[in-house]
Amino acid sequence: MRHYVGGGFDASGVPFPLFDPARGFVVGEAPSASRELVDRAVDAAREALRGPWAAWSPADRARLLHRIADGIELRFEEFVDAECADTGKPRELASTVDIPRAVANFRSYADLLAGRGERSWHTATPDGRGALNYTVRKPLGVVAVISPWNLPLLLLTWKVAPALATGNTVVAKPSELTPGTACLLAEVMAEADVPAGVFNVVHGGGADAAGQWLTEHPGVDAIAFTGESRTGGAIMRAAAARLAPVSFELGGKNAGLVFADADLEQAVAGTLRSSFTHSGQVCLCTERVYVERPVFDAFAEALAAGARALTGYGPMVSAAHRDKVLGYVGKAAADGEVLAGGGTPRFSDDRDGGFWVEPTVLAGLPEDHPVVREEIFGPVVHLAPFDTEEEALAYANAGPYGLAATVWTGDVGRAHRVAPALDVGIAWVNTWNLRDLRTPFGGVKASGIGREGGDHSLDFFSEPMNVCVKL
């Protein structure tokens, strides 16, 4: 594990341990960046803005993004290995979602960039000769990219690709829990002949470490962050001191609505997927499900049976996160019902030392209970009944978060009524996590600021300038 600064690799810094989440033991270490190294990374990114990179055309940058995607594909199995080692997630998930999506991130922004144009206006003037106004989009400059541990490569590349596409330079700080694929990506960048300083990686923690030093750095022009809402608030305060623009995708306490006219089998299968993919460690996962009363008992029984039958799921990312999740489950057990799970699985092998939590289905808690209100980010879902469409919407829209929601119904009219009435950034009807990378992605309330995806990301990472020419 090494930093990547100014086109070179650097292993300096106090090492910190890396754990195998599935087995619980130390498997390696990574260096923690010093403040001086963070300064060097920002300086290298600033210098690259003044170098040959500034003269690259959009077509040049689009070709570069395709070369980076090619490089990831050539080392596909290495990336899968690193992602699984860092996160503990099943290999099937990493090989079918995380790594392919990283490739798609670079390719989709390359293609969007190739077809992107600017606007122009012919303007009337008093002398009748007119003027021409047109826009030019310019890079923001040095962008800090802070990415989380749950989807390390996917969410890193989701920001890096549009940032590079629009001509910025990047200093990336991956989660200290999952640095592996960021290191591999730096190697791919070097192999793809990305100019020195255009892409940099520094490792370390957040508070009083690389993350804080980077987001507070006066040489950083913009910040793109995915992570918990509290950390987003701290970063926003740091950015506010110099009025740096921010793009935040933050926490969620996502609701699912199941109406009595839904295909119950489809709704159960979809909710199992939306609640327990990556053991619930996805910002889009469903943590609370509201079921119309006539089908509540049947749905609860089927979902609990499905949760008990799940196999092939992964562990929590760390011992601390496992303990946090189990703490919420303990509160739920004291005040409500545990319909399935609620403990740690036993394997009778070295996985018993890992950070595991069983897929857990809860019921019977009041709406103001911490388990219903606070983000757990684990394989835990709470069920509650509702009687009317209005009541369902009131439940779903309550609370501080507003990232995503699911609606399960066989009534197309209801689908088009309910989905737009949800206070979220994205609502899925009779499906979950079906993504088109051109569409806006992000949350409302405490779930984020701004939108990512397609032109929305390209717009954030560039500044529009107007040029007026008198004719």
Q: Which residues are catalytic?
A: 249, 283
Whether the CB-CB separation of 464 and 133 falls below 8 Å is answered with no
Tokens encoding 235: 């970063």
Whether the CB-CB separation of 424 and 404 falls below 8 Å is answered with yes
The DSSP bridge partners found for residue 383 are 289, 363
Distance, CA of 305 to CA of 307 (rounded, Å): 5
Whether the CB-CB separation of 384 and 332 falls below 8 Å is answered with no
Distance, CA of 281 to CA of 7 (rounded, Å): 33
Distance, CA of 112 to CA of 104 (rounded, Å): 12
Residue owning tokens 């978060």: 401
Tokens encoding 349: 């092998």
Side chain identity, residue 347: F
**Measured CA distances, 337 to 239, 257, 326, 361 (Å):** 44, 20, 15, 9
The DSSP bridge partners found for residue 292 are 386
Sign of CA dihedral 85, 88, 91, 97: negative
Distance, CA of 217 to CA of 42 (rounded, Å): 8
For 372-409, give one letter per residue: b (16+ CB within 10 A) or e: bbbbbbbbbbbbbbbeebeebbebbebbebbbbbbbbb
Q: How far apart are the first and last CA of the chain?
A: 58
In a 3-state reduction of DSSP, which class is residue 179? Answer: coil
H or E segment at 70?
helix 58-74
Residue among 244, 217, 177 at smallest CA distance from 38:
217
Distance, CA of 232 to CA of 223 (rounded, Å): 10
